[in-house]
Amino acid sequence: MLAAMSTLGRLVAPISRLRARWRFARWVWRARFVLARHGCKLEVHAPHGATFDSPPAVRPTLHFGPVGGGGRVRIELGRWVHLGRDMEIEVLPSEESTLVLGDGVTCQANVRLVLFGGEIRVGPSAQLRDGAMLKSSGSLVLGERVMVARFSSIQAHDSVRFEDLSGAAERVTVIDSDHTIDGTDDHFLVKPVRSDPITVGRNTWLGANVVVLRGARIGRNALVGAASVVRGGDYPDGWLIAGVPAAPVRPLGRRQAEVAGSG
Q: Domain segments of the chain: what residues?
A: 11-132, 138-178+190-263
Rounded to a whole number of angstroms, the CA Rg of the chain reads 21
Task: Specify whether the CB–CB gap between 153 and 133 falls below 8 A.
Answer: yes
Q: What was the pLDDT predicted at 187? A: 86
Q: What is the pLDDT of residues 145-199, one digit of tens each?
A: 999 999 999 999 999 999 999 999 999 999 999 988 888 888 888 888 899 999 9
- The rounded percent of the chain whose pLDDT value lies above 90 is 77
Average pLDDT for residues 229-250, to the nearest whole number?
98
- What is the amino acid identity at position 34? V
Write out 44-66 in H/E/C secondary structure.
EECCCCCEECCCCEEEECCCCCC
CB-count burial class (<10 Å; 0-12, 13-18, 19+) for 12: exposed
pLDDT band at 65 (very low <50, low <70, confident <90, very high): low
Mean pLDDT check: name the lowest of 77-86, 113-122, 251-260. 251-260
Q: What was the pLDDT predicted at 191? A: 83
Q: What was the pLDDT predicted at 130? A: 98
| CATH architecture assignment, domain 138-178+190-263 | 3 Solenoid (2.160)
Q: What is the pLDDT of residues 24-45, one digit of tens each?
A: 999 999 999 999 999 999 999 9
Average pLDDT for residues 83-101, to the nearest whole number?
96
Closest CA relative to residue 77, chosen from 34, 160, 132, 21:
21
Helix (H, G, I), strand (E, B) or coil at 259: helix
Integer Cα distance of 52 and 196 in angstroms: 35
pLDDT at 256 over 80: no
Helix/strand/coil percent split, the chain, to 5: 20, 40, 45
All residues at 6 or more sequence positions from 249 whose CB lies less than 8 Å from its CB, including other chains: 225, 239, 240, 241, 242, 243
pLDDT band at 141 (very low <50, low <70, confident <90, very high): very high
Q: pTM of this prediction?
A: 0.90
Task: Specify whether the CB–CB gap between 220 and 204 falls below 8 A.
Answer: yes
Mean pLDDT check: name the lowest of 27-31, 214-218, 254-258. 254-258
Mean pLDDT across the chain: 91
